[in-house]
Structure 1
């Protein structure tokens, strides 16, 4: 159980997520300061209110609907989206286009691994091994005769 927990913690995703949460919290403080310090006073000045939260208030019976509060949250969300897009997404997409993150190997250098045998191939080999064992002739070598991929199979590339 401890080994599984150690593998979970040391996975790159967990560390990346932890860093993202910490930076996100710090970034939220910056955006909140911008909305509170710049946009709230500007909008409040336009609508004769002390803060954006107090703008666009509608009295409905004993309750007060605060549309300014919702507007402030929307502005804050849009600011976060704009900064994330222009600071992170756009530069990373540009770097991907100029092959910064792509592998340095050429396709000729890549080693193509042989495909593992299919279930049908394995079963055919087992059948032939059992048949050879019952006849006392020993085990055949390589792929079983007639098995997919062997030379005498009707479809050798299968």
Structure 2
């Protein structure tokens, strides 16, 4: 039972996942700082509001005279926040990594010589046929020579 647990923990993908979670948690602080320090003040300046949560409200009255509000600003703020976080993640993490991988692949291609194309089935069969003919010819010429003493 403990051997199975040890094998599970020592698998490479479990370690990779643990590292990804730790890096993701650390990166959350960076993304949050960018969104709250740069993006949210820009949104506040554009909409002339401290927060969109209470900027766009539509009051409604329910069936029993109960009053409530639809908070469109809150939904719009959540959408903008999501798009801002997605943009930061894309431009800070994904785009640079894609460029890095493309450069790495280009270096690998430049350093590796081109491999010759693999022979076709017909070429392989013709080669086998020629080898068999050569073996038969060699065997036939040995049987025709007198034995040497």
User: TM bucket by the smaller chain?
Assistant: 0.5 to 0.7
2:12 — aligned with what? Answer: 12
Q: Per-residue displacement from partner, 1:128-158 (whole Å, max 9, x unpaired)? A: xxxxxxxxxxxxxxxxxxxxxxxxxxxxxxx
Cα deviations across residues 99-132 of structure 1 (Å, max 9, x unaligned)?
Answer: 19x9x8x98xxxxxxxxxxxxxxxxxxxxxxxxx
TM-score, L = length of structure 2: 0.59
Cα distance, 1:12 vs structure 2? 1.1
TM-score, with length taken from structure 1: 0.56
RMSD across aligned positions (CA)? 2.8
More helix by share: 2
Larger radius of gyration: 2
Q: Classify 1:6/1:17 alpha carbon distance in 2 versus 1 (closer, same or farther; 3 Å).
A: same
Structure 1 position 54 matched with structure 2 position 63: no
Q: The residue matched to 2:40 in structure 1 has which SS? A: helix
Q: CA deviation at 1:57?
A: 2.4
- Structure 2: state its 5+ residue gaps: 61-67, 116-149
In 2, the alpha carbon distance for the partners of 1:60 and 1:74 equals 27
Pairwise mapping of residues 54-133 of structure 1 onto structure 2 (< 5 A)? 54=53, 57-61=56-60, 62-63=68-69, 64-65=71-72, 66=74, 67-99=76-108
Structure of higher RCO (CA pairs closer than 8 Å, 6+ residues apart): 2
Q: Summarize deviations over 1:53-96 as a string: whole Å, max 9, x none.
A: 43762325213121122211211112112222223232123212
- Name the SS for the 1:59 alignment partner: strand
Kindly tell me the number of residue pairs found equivalent between the two proteins.
105
Contact preservation (8 Å) 1:44, 1:55: no
